[in-house]
Amino acid sequence: MTFTYERKANYYETDMMGVVHHSNYLRYFEEARIAFMDSLGIPYKELEENGIMSPVLSVQCEYKRMVQFGETMLIKVSLIEYNGIRMKLNYEIVDKKSGKVTTRGITSHCFLSKNGRPVSLKNNMTEYHEKFLECLDKVSDNQ
């Protein structure tokens, strides 16, 4: 299952060349990830209200083409791994007008309690665990 998040590049996100600064892509990934989770019925705010955090463990980002102020991006997000305690997501940013890939990335996350201990969604938030598994099943069905 691939979720698509649409976003325009803002002026303040660009550098002196009028190109989106590379650090902003991590923010784009985060925005798209939060929207993706919302679309699954797993609001991140609700996770936090239940004492569960999902920090980033690692990020990979490959820049293929520049994005400039005002261009509209389609940020495609898909869950590629999930085991109840960790998850990994894939991102592909595409220029809406040309359809060309501008950026590819992967983020890895875990689920932790507020005191920093690993949390299993399977044991603590069964409803969310099932939704992640369902999403992962849809991915494997489409391959």
Residues with catalytic function: 15
Residues 6 or more apart whose CB falls under 8 angstroms from that of 64 comprise 100, 101, 102, 103, 104
**In which residue are the tokens 């939060």 written?**
34
Amino acid at 32: A
Residues 6 or more apart whose CB falls under 8 angstroms from that of 5 comprise 31, 32, 35, 36, 74, 75, 76, 77
